[in-house]
Amino acid sequence: MARFRKIDPRIWNDAKFAALSHEAQRAFLFVLTSPAMTSLGAFRGTVDGLGIELGLDPKDIRQVFEQLFRKGLVKVDERAFLWWCPNFLKYNTPENPNVVKGWFQALEMLPECPLLAEVVSCAIGVAREKFPSNNSVLDACKSLERVISSLSKDLGEDISQSLPQLFRKQEQEQEQEQEYIEDTPHAETEKPKSAKRSRKELAATLAKCPEGVNPDAWSAFLSNRKKKSMSEYALQLMQKECDKAGWTLADAIDLCVRKTWEGFDAEWVKNMPKPAKRTTLDAEKERKAAEIQREYQERAKKFQSANDESDLLAAIGG
């Protein structure tokens, strides 16, 4: 089956890429589209081997690839023969949760080394950002975290210090949360209300219908979700995607209800026209209309169940 890799045409405007020699530019494009490239943006190879495939003069091979290394366009562990393009997943994000699951098969093709931990941690960050509320993806991310822990144990060194800031921050937050619980006997009662809540606390708290969102739309949205609920943390992530797409949360919820989506991603709507801008007055009108509709529905139920004249008068508010 054919495999495709995306290359943004704006690469020709990039200062790092423009500063490369013509041979180095060709080498970078070759790395991005190499037949050995996996869906994680990494593959196994050698400097000399890739240089020979490119037809470079043997004495120029090292000089050409050094340009890529110095610019940070490519990272390589020459002892383990692992090559990685740090921005690969930025332009080749997983199209669906099955792609994330397929990363484990790609991992089997990559040599174990500290650089592999960077590859995996970057993939975790991309997956969580792309599918913040997908349970199968979140489970896969937990498994990927275990891969990093296993690597650290097998290699006999603390890999966490070499990982991207995103993954280190997640580990630090977990450690701080555990320390707080252990050191504070009555954490829930003594913790200042003004303190910023941790991600763990947000994930454990169910989100209420956000301000400006139609309550009926919110209920319909939750009914589409497998868990039938949504945490405050998941709602925060969804709001970030809305901000990125230029959509209001209310419009995003309405679209999710129509499409029966369990969540919202900016990439899913990039080719859609943006909804007309809603004002606070519009949201208030929708809220009142929903309240009136529910009131009439309640009255209709009472009317249908009325048995005598007094019940009927009560049902119609007489």
Mean pLDDT for the chain overall: 80
Asked whether residue 151 falls in the same domain as residue 286, the answer is: no
Q: How far apart are CA 75 and CA 189, in angstroms?
A: 48
Convert 183-210 to b/e letters by CB count within 10 Å (16 or more is b): eeeeeeeeeeeeeeeebeebeeeebebe
- Where does the pLDDT of residue 318 fall: very low under 50, low under 70, confident under 90, or very high at 90 and above? low
What pLDDT, on the 0 to 100 scale, is given for residue 304?
A: 63
Per-residue confidence (pLDDT) for residue 200, from 0 to 100? 64
Give the CA angle between residues 71, 72, 75 to the nearest 5°: 135
The span from the CA of 115 to the CA of 196, in Å, is: 33
**Does the pLDDT at position 282 exceed 60?**
no
Highest mean pLDDT among 66-70, 166-170, 281-285 belongs to 66-70
Question: Percent of the chain, pLDDT > 70?
Answer: 71
Per the domain annotation, does 257 fall within a domain? no
Please check whether residues 26 and 159 belong to one and the same domain: yes
The burial of 178, by beta-carbon neighbours within 10 Å (0-12 exposed, 13-18 middle, 19 or more buried), is given as: exposed
Does some domain include residue 101? yes
Say whether both 300 and 158 belong to one domain.
no
For 199-217, write each residue's pLDDT tens digit: 667 666 888 888 888 888 8
Q: What is the mean pLDDT of residues 158-178?
A: 47
List strand residue ranges (DSSP E) for the chain, in order: 42-44, 75-77, 82-84
Domain span holding position 296: 280-315
**Digit-coded pLDDT (tens) for 48-67:** 999 999 999 999 999 999 99
Predicted confidence at residue 261, as pLDDT, reads 85
Is 31 among the domain residues? yes
Contacts 24+ apart (CB under 8 A), 262-271: 262/133, 262/134, 262/224, 262/225, 262/226, 263/131, 263/132, 263/133, 263/134, 263/234, 263/238, 264/238, 265/130, 265/131, 265/241, 266/241, 266/242, 267/93, 267/130, 269/245, 270/245
161 and 21 share one domain? yes
Task: Give the predicted TM-score (pTM) of the model.
Answer: 0.53
pLDDT in the model for residue 259: 83
List the single range of 105-109, 113-117, 296-300 with lowest mean pLDDT: 296-300
Question: Tokens 């801008």 correspond to what residue?
Answer: 277
**Residue 17 and residue 156 share a domain:** yes
- pLDDT tens digits, residue range 252-272? 988 888 888 888 888 888 888
CA nearest neighbour of 214 among 292, 283, 162, 279 = 283
Grade residue 308 by pLDDT with cuts at 50, 70 and 90: low
Q: Per-residue DSSP letters for 208-231?
A: PPPTTS-HHHHHHHHHHSTTS--B
Among 121, 152, 167, residue at a domain's last position:
167
What's the confidence (pLDDT) of residue 203? 65
109 pLDDT tier (thresholds 50, 70, 90)? very high
Is residue 245 included in any domain, yes or no?
A: no
Rg (CA), the chain: 27
Q: Which residue is associated with the tokens 């029966």?
A: 260
Q: Band of the pLDDT at 165, cuts 50, 70, 90?
A: very low
- Does residue 179 have a pLDDT over 80? no
Domain-embedded: residue 142: yes
Decide if 124 is inside a domain.
yes
* Domain identity same for 146 and 292: no
